[in-house]
Every structure is written in C-alpha cells, then in structure tokens.
Amino acid sequence: MAPMYLIAIAWLYVALLAAITENTAVGGVLTFIFYGLAPMALFFWLFGTPTRRRRQREREASGLNDRAESDADQ
C-alpha cells in the first residue's frame, strides 16, 4: 500500500512543477487539476475497488448475522 502512495505523491509533485511553469494562473490551475488531481482520483478509485467490494461483503455478512441473531432471540 505504501508504494502506491509514494507514486501518487511523486505524480502530484511533477504535476505541480508542470503547473508552476504555465504562463497564466488559470493555465496552472487547470494543468494541476487535469494532469494531477483527476488522474490520481481515477487511480485511487480504480485501485480501491477491490477494497470497497470486500468491505461491502463484510458489512452484508455481518448484517445478515445480526438479523439472524435478533430473529433467534424472538
């Protein structure tokens, strides 16, 4: 997990440096958003999908167990 964050930090650093070299502030902000933040958001969303699915299955399994126990108590 740590190398993934290291790659993200390095990518954002390079995107920030590219944004600083832009001629206008608007160009710099857009460069940072479209070359830095947007790709990182997509990267973390795609690579976080297995974790989200696993957590969802765990929540569903524990929710089913809670319901089964409460039904047994009645």
Structural domain boundaries of the chain?
3-70
Q: Quote the mean pLDDT of the chain.
A: 85
Q: Which residue has the higher pLDDT, 30 or 58?
A: 30
Q: Which residue has the higher pLDDT, 30 or 4?
A: 30
Query: Whats the size of the chain, residue-wise?
Result: 74
pTM comes to 0.65
Cα–chain center distance at 10: 16
Q: What pLDDT is recorded for position 74?
A: 57
d(C-alpha 35, C-alpha 19), whole Å: 9
| Helix, strand, coil share of the chain (percent; to 5) | 90, 0, 10
Of all residues in the chain, what percent carry a pLDDT higher than 90? 46
Q: Which residue has the higher pLDDT, 55 or 70?
A: 55
Q: Which residue has the higher pLDDT, 34 or 58?
A: 34
